[in-house]
Amino acid sequence: MESTANPETKFYAVPQFQTQRRRFRTTYEEFKKLIKENQKGDLINGVVKMKSPATFRHEKIFIFLSTLMNSFVAAKDLGVVLGSRMLVRIDEFNGYEPDIL
């Protein structure tokens, strides 16, 4: 679209741009193929949300909670506590990688 100039005022009309909605959603199966082993991300309503690397503070809290939960689960013979990097499928368009599972 061309801008039109008003010769008397020297103002130019700027074309308006509209944001387009996504026409497709990523499925859980596509998400599994997209996400690499060294990446962390979530699939929320068909949209991939990449996560930034964990901070030192985050890792300290993660280890503390993992140890605490694992001790409790083992003492009560409740099963197993898993760490991050486990991809969990919610439905066709939602999946996430919780820190502790």
- 10-residue block means of pLDDT along the chain (101 residues)? 53 56 83 86 93 91 96 97 87 92 89
Looking at the domain assignment, is residue 13 inside a domain?
A: no
Query: Which DSSP state fits 84?
Result: S
56 CB-side CA count, 13 A: 0
- Total domains in the chain come to 1
Model pLDDT, residue 23? 65
pLDDT at 38: 80
Residue 6 belongs to a domain: no
Q: Give the three-class secondary structure for 99.
A: coil
Tokens 């008397």 belong to which residue?
A: 8
Q: What is the pLDDT of residue 40?
A: 86
- Residue 85 confidence (pLDDT): 75
Query: The whole model's pTM is what?
Result: 0.64
CA distance 94 to 76: 32
Domain contains 63: yes
Query: Nearest-CA neighbor of 69 among 59, 60, 80?
Result: 80
Instruction: Give the structural domain span for 50.
Output: 28-96
Q: In degrees rounded to 5, what are phi and psi of residue 96?
A: -150, 170
Determine, yes or no, domain membership for 3. Answer: no
